[in-house]
Chains A and B, each alone.
Chain A
Amino acid sequence: MLTRQRAQELFAEVTKYSTADETECLITSNRYALTRFANNNIHQNVTEEGLYLSVRAVAGHRMARAGTNKLDSASIRRLAEAALDLARLQPPDPELLRMPEPQMYRAVQRFVPDTAELGPRDRAEAVTGVIRRAEADHLTAAGVFSSGCSVMALFNSRGLRAFHEETVSELSVTMVGPTSSGWAKKTGPNHLELDPEALADRAARKALASAEPREIPPGRYTVILEPAAVLDLLGFLVLDFSGLALAEQRSCLTGRMGEKLFGSNIEMRDDVYHPLHLGAPFDGEGVPRQRVMLVEHGVPKNLVYARQTARKASAEPTGHGFPLPNEYGEAPMNIVMEGGRHSLDDMIRSTERGLLVTRLWYIREVDPYQKIVTGMTRDGTFWIEGGELRHGVRNLRFNQSLIEMLSNVEMMSPPERAAGEESFEMVVPAMKVRDFTFSSVTKF
């Protein structure tokens, strides 16, 4: 794996060959393994290791990037020259900023050595336990157990030095029965906190409880969204909190900043330092990430900014930029939504007629300004009546404005680190939402 020393050596070699006005190296390294199972059988098992070096060269007001994983001297020399040649071939950008100078970073500890070293037998043993749980109820288990580590170093010729390492682990379990399925997932830097037994049991119980699902007509329902469902929906909203998106009028917040857009109970911030989050304390240019209050009492208050976007908006950069050059500017990637004090059971008990949704699937944006998204429920959708879960229902398609949804939140749980399949991890609550729009039903 990449060390600071190795990163320094690679940077020194690039700068030896680079004749650019300014040079930046982004070096990433990863070791990652994933054990995949289906039909109560491990059917894929993979491991990989790699190191990637990319160089951003600046020539006057021109900039370009080139990258390689070929790390011999000739290739590194060719890389440095290629980045500069590409930069010189394009028209000047008068707004291009100089690279940032050295920065101070707040320390974050997100590396767990045992997780970095986890082997295929360790993962296989955990998976065997999941499969045993499935077989106990005549279900079939499918899912993944992955683990690994990644390192990122960002050095530039103005003296900036940024370095971050972290471990990752994930267990995702789907239990499949003859007429239903259930799902549970957890991710984090420490594999010991995944609790395979509990996840397997949760997924199995959902599959069993939703067996023989009944069809309900599409319409507007009170819905209780578990954190994974909330996360996957919010993933289609938070990118609009980019300063560049607003400047280019492609954000749903265009003309709406500072207005009451959501319910008063909606508070959302970006906070890479939250103890439940992963991520580096710096952005793609090496600017320290800041906590940013995005929504306060339902009012969009602040955006995130990369350096160049901030300059144009007369704002301060917040440390959320992507590596340059890019077309997207910046995005909040460590969302924390304040929740409430209610449990999921509280929400169910308080619901006369409604639905409990475990997970959503294939969410896509239908209308970028009304922020209507469509998608399907999946792996555990339940009918609630008289404050109790009654039975599983056939999966439904929704077409729902996220702005309207966040204006209709009646109850929330305390936030937790949630993992879905359509967006990056967030710290979000479960939500009870009124008048959620389902437009059609599928056949299972």
Chain B
Amino acid sequence: MKDLAQRALDTAVASGATYADVRVVDYHQRYLAAKNGQASGVRESESMGLGIRVIADGSWGFAATDDLSIGSVDRTAAQAVEVARASALAKKHDVRLAPEDRRVGHWESPCRVDPFTVPVSTCLDLLLKVDAELRRVPGVTLAEGSMDFRRIEQWFASTLGSELHQVRTQTGVGYCATSFDAGEIQRRSYPNSFGGQYQTAGYELVEQLDLLGHAGLIAEEAVALHKAEQCPAGVKDVILGSSQLGLQIHESIGHPIELDRVLGDEANYAGMSFLTIEKLNNLKYASEIVNVVADATPEHGPGLGTFLYDDEGVPAQCTRVIKDGLFVGYLTSRESAASAGLGRSSGAMRAEGWNRIPLIRMTNVSLLPGTWKFDDLIADTEDGILMETNRSWSIDDRRYNFQFGTEIGWEIKGGKRGRLLKNPSYGGITTEFWNSCDAICGSEHWTLWGTPNCGKGQPGQIMGTGHGAAPARFRNVQVGVAYGN
């Protein structure tokens, strides 16, 4: 693969490229699902190909192919240069890249149990046991569970002389109980909704989660929600469970700090950002207890945004995003860092596969833990709602106005967790919300969640991102907004 990548670079340079990078990607996925007592999805897929990105005549071009013959690689590299020259027809300025060094390296993500060696029958057996446990509870009308294993091997080479080989193994697992009754659909999921928990890890993730042990309670909660009180509308203190807070971070911190949005590159689709350049080091994004990092380094944990080098050959970094409440850092690329005068790239360029260009994507954007014990936080809350497990999420195209719904909530009165609440929702304006954060639980409550389905770019790309969070409290939040009651 190294030779193939070098061949593509040589052809691109011979065709007129002033810069080029190549990624050869070999992608494997195994997806297993069970539904209502049957194996509902048993699929394996693999895809291998080469994508080459070039600068020629001062503009970008990219071409990709799954035909890895020498002739095809040559044609693809030359085509990328031709595409770049066409881009130059509507050029306002030459592309400038922040400086970067030559990098040579190899990295494999830690994986204690290779999920592709675990027998399919073992996985299906576990999913079907969980399925039976969910349906054991009267009132559960639909039980669904899935496991998703991926291995992404990538060879990267660039005209800087970089040669990088990385292998990442990812595992996702989760299940959901749905209950339909009297004109209402309620759901509970474990360990998270929309596919469960995802990490850059092996089958050990499945083993750690005690899937079977939680199924009974999850099913009972799904059914109990029908008889629960509706989440009230009004202004309340809210405590968010860590997985919901992970998505809150994703939408209202992770996306706004993507510098390509700030610079307008996503104006037509994913949208822009309120975090314009003058706000860097000036905006009080959050209360003083809030510290957020974008950390791709393996030391941060097995997040979906963990790697050793990004997809333009920049080393993984831990970028401070919010320091003691102050906005201090963006997610950047070599090009956007140069455009904004920020020096070096923060190493956040990631591509979905061989046929997509890298874009600025979240790595692991995490809220650092605070000091509270969860029970103390409940005891300290006079009138609030505890909300857990995302059910819906939406935010405007500059990332101010958000609204989330969760699967379940509990009233908190006088420092005690009380009655169950159904259809919880809350909304607000990003900076007002984060400035109302007055308590964050400690590291013993902190989990690095995976969001496997983040969409961005045209053509569309789906990317996995990581978000570490511990439960946290937000004061005076508008709740019950989705139902308008």
Taking Cβ atoms with an 8 Å cutoff, the residues of A that contact B are 32-52, 54, 63-70, 82-83, 86-87, 89-91, 93, 119-121, 123-125, 127-128, 131, 140, 142-144, 146, 172-174, 176, 181, 183, 248-250, 254-255, 325-327, 361-369, 372, 374-376, 378, 395, 397, 399, 421, 437, 439-444
Q: Is B142 an interface residue (CB 8 A)?
A: yes
Cβ distance A188 to chain B, nearest Cβ, rounded Å: 17
CB within 8 Å for A40 and B92 given contacts A45-B61, A89-B124, A248-B141: yes
Q: Which residues of A contact B264 (CB under 8 A)?
A: 38-39, 140, 142, 176
Cβ distance A26 to chain B, nearest Cβ, rounded Å: 12
Instruction: Taking A144-B268, A144-B269 as given, write out 12 further A-B residue pairs in contact, using a Cβ cutoff of 8 Å, ordered by the A residue number.
Output: A38-B265, A38-B267, A46-B62, A48-B51, A49-B64, A51-B66, A67-B43, A142-B266, A325-B39, A366-B391, A366-B483, A439-B482
Which chain B residue has the least Cβ–Cβ distance from A47? B63
Taking CB atoms and an 8 Å cut-off, the chain B residues in 2-61 that contact chain A are 33, 35-36, 38-49, 51, 59-61
Determine whether the beta carbon of A46 is less than 8 Å from that of B63.
Answer: yes
Determine whether the beta carbon of B185 is less than 8 Å from that of A65.
Answer: no
Determine whether the beta carbon of A250 is less than 8 Å from that of B178.
Answer: yes
Cβ distance B186 to chain A, nearest Cβ, rounded Å: 9
From B39, B184, B265, A91 is in contact (CB under 8 Å) with: B39
Question: Which of under 10, 10 to 19, 20 to 34, or 35 or more describes the interface residues of B?
Answer: 35 or more
Q: Which residues of A contact B476 (CB under 8 A)?
A: none
Task: Offer 22 A-B interface pairs, CB within 8 angstroms, sorted by A.
Answer: A40-B92, A45-B61, A45-B84, A46-B356, A47-B64, A47-B79, A48-B355, A66-B43, A67-B45, A93-B39, A124-B89, A125-B89, A326-B41, A327-B40, A361-B271, A372-B483, A374-B392, A378-B397, A395-B396, A397-B401, A439-B403, A442-B400
Give A32 to B458 CA distance when docked, in angstroms. 12
Q: Is B452 an interface residue (CB 8 A)?
A: no
Cβ distance A193 to chain B, nearest Cβ, rounded Å: 20
Which 6 pairs of residues, A with B, have the shortest CB-CB distance?
A120-B86, A442-B401, A249-B180, A142-B267, A64-B42, A48-B64
From B48, B87, B392, B481, A42 is in contact (CB under 8 Å) with: B87
Give A250 to B39 CA distance when docked, in angstroms. 19
Which chain B residue has the least Cβ–Cβ distance from A327? B40
Give A48 to B84 CA distance when docked, in angstroms. 14
Determine whether the beta carbon of A47 is less than 8 Å from that of B268.
Answer: no
CB within 8 Å for A176 and B357 given contacts A325-B42, A327-B40, A440-B427: no
Give A34 to B268 CA distance when docked, in angstroms. 14
Q: Which residues of B contact A144 (CB under 8 A)?
A: 268-269, 458
Residue among A39, A51, A173 with the highest chain B CB neighbour number at 10 A:
A39
Residue among A46, A123, A127, A443 with the highest chain B CB neighbour number at 10 A:
A46
Q: Per DSSP, are chain A's interface residues mostly helix, strand or loop, or mixed?
A: strand
CB within 8 Å for A325 and B64 given contacts A364-B394, A440-B401, A444-B398: no
Determine whether the beta carbon of A366 is less than 8 Å from that of B405.
Answer: yes
Determine whether the beta carbon of A127 is less than 8 Å from that of B396.
Answer: no
Cβ distance B51 to chain A, nearest Cβ, rounded Å: 8
From A54, A90, A176, A397, B403 is in contact (CB under 8 Å) with: A397
Q: Is B423 an interface residue (CB 8 A)?
A: yes
Which chain B residue has the least Cβ–Cβ distance from A256? B183
Determine whether the beta carbon of B65 is less than 8 Å from that of A248.
Answer: no
Determine whether the beta carbon of A68 is less than 8 Å from that of B47.
Answer: yes
Q: Which residues of B contact A47 (CB under 8 A)?
A: 62-64, 79-80, 83
Cβ distance A142 to chain B, nearest Cβ, rounded Å: 4
Q: Which residues of A contact B356 (CB under 8 A)?
A: 46
Taking CB atoms and an 8 Å cut-off, the chain B residues in 79-124 that contact chain A are 79-80, 82-84, 86-93, 119-121, 124
Which chain A residue has the least Cβ–Cβ distance from B64? A48
Q: Which residues of B contact A54 (CB under 8 A)?
A: 45
Determine whether the beta carbon of A367 is less than 8 Å from that of B482.
Answer: yes
Give A82 to B45 CA distance when docked, in angstroms. 10
Determine whether the beta carbon of A41 is less than 8 Å from that of B47.
Answer: no
Q: Is B484 an interface residue (CB 8 A)?
A: yes
Cβ distance A295 to chain B, nearest Cβ, rounded Å: 20
Determine whether the beta carbon of B121 is less than 8 Å from that of A89.
Answer: yes
Cβ distance B480 to chain A, nearest Cβ, rounded Å: 10
Cβ distance B53 to chain A, nearest Cβ, rounded Å: 9
Which chain B residue has the least Cβ–Cβ distance from A375? B394
Residue among B91, B124, B178, B355 with the highest chain A CB neighbour number at 10 A:
B355
Q: Which residues of B contact A397 (CB under 8 A)?
A: 394, 396, 401, 403, 427
From A69, A250, A376, B48 is in contact (CB under 8 Å) with: A69
Determine whether the beta carbon of A372 is less than 8 Å from that of B92.
Answer: no
Determine whether the beta carbon of B46 is less than 8 Å from that of A41.
Answer: no
Determine whether the beta carbon of A43 is less than 8 Å from that of B484.
Answer: no
Residue among A140, A363, A366 with the highest chain B CB neighbour number at 10 A:
A366
